[in-house]
Amino acid sequence: MNHFTILVSRYDPDNEAAPHETQYELSNDGDLSVLDALRRIRQTYDGTLAFRESCGTGKCGSCAVEVDGKPALACQHLLSPGSHRISPLRSFPVIRDLTVDVGPYESRLKEVHPSLVAACADHESDRQAGAVLRDLALCTSCLICEVGCPVHEVAPERYQGPAIMTAISRWMADPRDGRDRVEDASKSGVDSCASCYRCSNSCSRGIDVFTSSVRFAREVELSKGYSGTATDRQMVETFREFGKLFAIKEAPLSVKYGSSQDNGATTGVFLGCMLDVRHQDWGEQLLKRLGESGMPFIVPEGQVCCGGPLLWKGRVREAKEAARKNLEVFKAAGVRRIVTACPGCKLTWTREYPHLLSEEALQSLPQVVDISEVVAAAKNAGHLSSKTVGYFPPCHTQGHDGKDSDPPGVLLRTLNEAGANYVQATLGECCGGMAASSDPQVARKLGSRVIERAVNAGLEVLVTTCPFCVENLSRAARALNAPLSVINMVEIV
Amino acid sequence: MAVVRQVDVLVVGSGVAGLYAATRCAQQGLSVAVLDKGLAGRSSASYSAKGMAVFGPWSVKEDSEEQHVDDTLKSGRYVNDPRLVEAMVKGAAGGILGLESMGMLFDRNPDTGNLALHGKAAGHAWPRDIGFSDITGKLLVDTLLSQARMLGVSVLSDHLALDMALGAEGVKGCFVLDMDAGEVVAIEASVVVMATGGIGDLYPLTSNAVQNTGDGIAIAMRAGATVKDMEFVQFYPATVVYPPVLRGVNTNSIGLGAQLLNSAKERFMSRLEPEKLEQVTRDRLSQCIYLEIMEGRGTENGGVYLDATSIPREKYKAHFPSEWRLAEHAGLDLGKDVVEVAPGAHYYMGGIEIGPDGSTDVPGLLALGECASGVHGANRLANNSLTDVLSFGKIGGDSAVAVARRRSRGSIGAREVNEAEERIRRRLGGSAVAGAAIAGRMKQQVRDVMGQYVGVVREARGLATGERLMNELSRAASEVTVSGGMRCNPELLRALEVQNMTLVAGAIIKGATLRKESRGSQYRTDFPGEDAAWQRNIRIRYMRDSGEIVADAGTAAPAAGGEKT
């Protein structure tokens, strides 16, 4: 028998000044969905508990609420035994209890004309509706992606959010439509999205929202002659010249330590632009730790940028080139498992390479793991003894089940060894790093929010595993003069 | 303060039928309001519909409109109104082009360029199933809702229609509970189009939305409209009962070869139907599963096991991609895991009697889609539901335009509105225990009675018990007062729904009791065969003065001349 303590946000605007939480206790044999819990509470404790539902099977999107601060469909989300909070979708006016007014969303949707504007007299729907259109046709406007979008949350005036982008891209992808949807996308702030994938991970219909709505719109923008911001253009030129996102001034580590021949080791190191070029100290640290672990490895020479940041900006051609080159280099080196210390690189290799490479090429796609999965705890963190330390989960480490916000085990063990005081804190879902090149304002807002929360939580040190997060958060901490240092896990582990 | 609004056409319900009618009216320059008691465009059974049967240029050369009509009449066991069947079949193909011009998507055959035929559903002589992937209904709703909004239709979510306002000349409009504002408003209209869908939520297990409590049928009955074929409730044989997150989903794997097993893991269909096994007609399959469960060989959750593990995964995924994804999301692998199913209330053939133009016997009232009757007779043919709403949405919309142009709009006075609001306020004032889910419990009791006595399998004694219990519930419902206020109060909503449900349920029980035979979806163990003498329709009216339901079992059905059994 499982026990549940459910704290539900209650609010009766006719008789109360503000929402408050009421606690209810339930027991159940087996799984309990949020909707079943709410129905039981209504049946047993208070028949006036207001919440939305319709199909009850995940198809209509009516029942979205926030569960422990994360938006989800009540009918599909299963509660683990223990304590949970259920609250209404945060960005909408509450009518009563958990029922919100989605009118504000409908008004914004109207602005992007979510209806066919016929380009010509032939209205025949596409012979074979493309993959993007098929994906987006599933959207029910449940608004989970909008409520969960960090950029839309901190800067709604700059970015309309993934739900609006989905409505725009659904018509952009429809060959019959003649309206300038690129203009709509641009006005809606498509360039401000931080490519964090949160929308894709949380979509109640399993739509790859980021890829089909945002990235697709960026690709179409480029194909229509838009050239991107100056920083984006520079990134592409640098890639063309150096195969990396940063200009190479001294030898990259993959050249210094690189080998272009199979040395028998099946583990290969993918350094990524940050560790190979820009922050070689982190790269050196990574290689040193691998050496200490006693595991044979190779650093294939000739590796290029993973292609992720290029892909996310819609530059699919360049991303494919990067993917092909990397696979070639790692295959020639006999690598079957890749170790990396950049979540963005890991995400690109595991999630995107299968879409960028041919079926044949995919036969030799190596397994990819993060450094935290292969090293044991270290004794490098002595300087953190008795400091209050927290962890920021990079957006690209998050998957569909939302459990990836926990710090890696090896980090906790290292901090424990060092006598540091680890404190769990909810800091946000995105540092804003990937928005920096096209919307620095958004990047600043997101970064500042994390730092402010970290300081409020009493943290003196913030550890994270993504080099871009370290950069963006360090910048934010400096700008705020915050008494907080941001470090890369690879420095201490 | 009495709030009165005016429109030319008031549509109750935002499924495909209602939205299509609203769009047609708006396209022809009329002012239109569409009400939904839930979120507009997402609270109907239309939303889950997968495909539609339409004869057209894409059909196989052996097929014809006449064949489709014949198949529909045969499935309906010849108690359909042939005029309505003709109107449905002949009106469908013409609507497709219009829908595409509004943005609707259809799968096309890459070689011929014609619409792709998805397959041949049970009861159809030839493949007729067209649509887009398995989300045809959803896309129709999305397309029509966008279109309606673009055309200036006022789309009102969280608005519950209470009753029609009636004058000497017929309908004047509707009294409506605006659940967001917590007030009763009146909407004056020249035409009211009832498009509230079916009655699935009258039963404990249904594939319908929780909103489908037959409100429109009850409202029409209270306004004096005749209802017909009330006894005919179609059950889908394999609706999920377990796991809970998929409860109410209609599984499709039997069509691909899945097997049913009882609690002893025995394939019981080999005992009941050795030749066809699970491939018998849906109504027969529902009866077999229901009886197996009633005889004590069901699972703990009240179902039987559905084993789809023998179907190649890619085949399942290709045919039902969104169902596969849904299950995946719930942590289930339909290729490996076994779900539990039982017959669920799926479609309602009964409802408001209409003519081929959607008109009823109340001047100013039209009825379309599932809340109307006569199209499908005693049993609906697979995939004909979207066909129905596609054709009648258009017919009904054009009909509403004609009626609105010749009828003047009546006037609803402030006193009438205040009285309507008073009728609602009298429901409030709480119960002995603050917050008790009294109305919620009543709704559950209605569902339990229907499930037990008026379900897949019926007989005289059970129906009599059901009638008695339903009368008690009806009385209790008319007197119940609930906790909370007017705004967004589920107890108030339930109290109003239960009044509608008991009225509709009473009519269903009356029809089922009178019809001493089994035909189509009505199966009686005390009258297990089809009786030619009953090839007719039972019409029912609600007498406002006495509060009684009166039945007229009439003469032979107009489809006489069809196949005799």
Please tell me whether residues A112 and A194 are part of one structural domain: yes
Quick check: B210 and A140 CB within 8 A? no
Least confident of A67-71, A257-261, A281-285, A444-448: A257-261
- Domain range for residue A280? 243-373
pLDDT score recorded for residue A130: 86
Axis crossing angle, helix B490-514 with helix B438-453, rounded to the nearest 10 = 20
B192 contacts B171 by C-beta, under 8 angstroms: yes
Beta bridge pairs of residue B134: none
pLDDT score recorded for residue A38: 98
**For residue A482, is it within any domain?**
yes
**What string of DSSP letters covers B345-382?**
EEEE--EEE--TTSB-SSTTEEE-GGGEESSSTTSPPT
pLDDT tens for the 565 residues of chain B, in order: 678 899 999 999 999 999 999 999 999 999 999 999 999 999 999 998 989 999 999 999 999 999 999 999 999 999 999 999 999 999 999 889 889 989 999 998 888 888 999 888 888 999 999 999 889 999 999 999 999 999 999 999 999 999 999 999 999 999 999 999 999 999 999 999 999 999 999 999 999 999 999 999 999 999 999 999 999 999 999 999 998 888 999 988 888 889 999 999 999 999 999 999 998 888 889 999 999 999 999 999 999 999 988 888 888 888 888 778 778 877 788 778 889 999 999 999 999 999 999 999 999 999 999 999 999 999 999 999 999 999 999 999 999 999 999 999 999 999 999 999 999 999 998 766 677 899 999 999 999 999 999 999 999 999 999 999 999 999 999 999 999 999 999 999 999 999 999 999 999 999 999 999 999 999 999 999 999 999 999 999 999 999 999 999 987 555 544 444 3
* Residue B174: φ, ψ to 5°: -135, 150
Record the tokens describing residue B543, joined without a space.
């007498």
Please tell me whether residues A254 and A357 are part of one structural domain: yes
Among B395, B393, B389, which Cα is nearest to B51's? B389
B505 contacts B446 by C-beta, under 8 angstroms: yes
Q: Please report, for residues A71, A111, A122, A313, A343, the alpha-carbon distance to residue A394 in angstroms, rounded to integers and kept in the order given.
A: 19, 33, 47, 19, 7
**For residue A470, is it within any domain?**
yes
Q: What is the mean pLDDT of chain A?
A: 93
At A9 the three-state DSSP class reads: strand
User: A with B: how many residue pairs have Cβ under 8 Å apart?
Assistant: 167
* Residue B187: φ, ψ to 5°: -120, 115
**A119–B contact, CB cutoff 8 A:** no
Please tell me whether residues A112 and A195 are part of one structural domain: yes
Quick check: A14 and B132 CB within 8 A? no
- CA B303 from chain center: how many Å? 23
A375-410: pLDDT as tens digits: 887 777 889 999 999 999 999 998 876 567 889 999
* C-alpha R_g of chain B: 23
Please tell me whether residues A431 and A359 are part of one structural domain: no
Record the tokens describing residue B80, joined without a space.
């359909």
Residue A50 belongs to a domain with what CATH number?
3.10.20.30
Instruction: Tell me whether strands A2-10 and A82-87 are parallel, antiparallel or unpaired.
Output: parallel
Please tell me whether residues A252 and A162 are part of one structural domain: no
A414 contacts A493 by C-beta, under 8 angstroms: yes
Which chain B residues are within 8 Å of A101, Cβ to Cβ?
180
Quick check: A96 and B489 CB within 8 A? yes
Q: Which amino acid is residue B91, in one-letter code?
A: G
Q: Is pLDDT at A18 greater than 60 in this prediction?
A: yes
DSSP, res A60: S
Please tell me whether residues A139 and A84 are part of one structural domain: no
Quick check: A57 and B489 CB within 8 A? no
- CA A61 from chain center: how many Å? 22
pLDDT score recorded for residue A403: 62
Please tell me whether residues A367 and A393 are part of one structural domain: no
How far is it, in rounded angstroms, from Cα A6 to Cα A35? 12
Dmax over CA atoms of chain B, in Å, equals 69
A486 contacts A460 by C-beta, under 8 angstroms: no
A202: nearest CA partner in chain B? B329
Which chain B residues are within 8 Å of A42, Cβ to Cβ?
437, 440, 490
Least confident of A88-97, A146-155, A305-314, B121-130: B121-130
Instruction: Please tell me whether the peptide bond between B243 and the residue prior to it is cis, using omega within 30 degrees of 0.
Output: yes
B401 contacts B26 by C-beta, under 8 angstroms: no
Please tell me whether residues A252 and A369 are part of one structural domain: yes
Interface of A with B in 186-215 (CB under 8 A): 204-206
Interface of A with B in 58-97 (CB under 8 A): 58-62, 75-76, 78, 95-97
Residue A263 belongs to a domain with what CATH number?
3.40.50
Please tell me whether residues A248 and A360 are part of one structural domain: yes
Quick check: B484 and A48 CB within 8 A? yes
B280 contacts B288 by C-beta, under 8 angstroms: yes
> Looking at A328, A348, A373, which one is the last position of a domain?
A373
**A46–B contact, CB cutoff 8 A:** yes
Please tell me whether residues A365 and A393 are part of one structural domain: no
B42: nearest CA partner in chain A? A60
Which chain A residues are within 8 Å of B494, Cβ to Cβ?
47
**For residue A189, is it within any domain?**
yes
HSE-CB of B63 using CA atoms within 13 angstroms: 21
**For residue A360, is it within any domain?**
yes
> Looking at A98, A125, A154, which one is the last position of a domain?
A98
Please tell me whether residues A332 and A386 are part of one structural domain: no
Distance from CA of B378 to the nearest CA of A (A): 26
Instruction: Please state the pTM of the whole predicted model.
Output: 0.94
**For residue A45, is it within any domain?**
yes
ipTM over 0.85: yes
Quick check: B330 and A55 CB within 8 A? no
How far is it, in rounded angstroms, from Cα A150 to Cα A161? 9
How far is it, in rounded angstroms, from Cα A54 to Cα B212? 9
Which chain A residues are within 8 Å of B146, Cβ to Cβ?
114-115
**What string of DSSP letters covers A277-338?**
IITHHHHHHHHHHHHHHT---B-BTT----SHHHHHTT-HHHHHHHHHHHHHHHHHTT-SEE
**A13–B contact, CB cutoff 8 A:** yes
At B137 the three-state DSSP class reads: helix
From the list B113, B210, B482, the residue facing A56 with the nearest CB is: B210
Quick check: A47 and B437 CB within 8 A? yes
Quick check: B210 and A127 CB within 8 A? no
A103: nearest CA partner in chain B? B157
**For residue A234, is it within any domain?**
no
Please tell me whether residues A308 and A331 are part of one structural domain: yes
Which chain B residues are within 8 Å of A116, Cβ to Cβ?
101-103
At A369 the three-state DSSP class reads: strand
From the list B108, B243, B435, the residue facing A125 with the nearest CB is: B108
Beta bridge pairs of residue B9: B32, B191
Dmax over CA atoms of chain A, in Å, equals 75
Axis crossing angle, helix A230-242 with helix A316-332, rounded to the nearest 10 = 30
**A118–B contact, CB cutoff 8 A:** yes
**For residue A368, is it within any domain?**
yes
Which chain A residues are within 8 Å of B248, Cβ to Cβ?
55-57
**For residue A70, is it within any domain?**
yes
Which chain B residues are within 8 Å of A60, Cβ to Cβ?
39, 42-43, 47-48, 209
Q: Which band of pLDDT confidence, cut at 50, 70 and 90, is reported for residue A212?
A: very high
At A98 the three-state DSSP class reads: coil
Q: Which band of pLDDT confidence, cut at 50, 70 and 90, is reported for residue A461?
A: very high
> Looking at A66, A98, A130, which one is the last position of a domain?
A98
Quick check: A115 and B150 CB within 8 A? yes
Burial class of residue B310 in the structure, from the number of CB atoms within 10 Å of its CB (0-12 exposed, 13-18 middle, 19+ buried)? exposed
> How many domains does chain A contain in total?
4
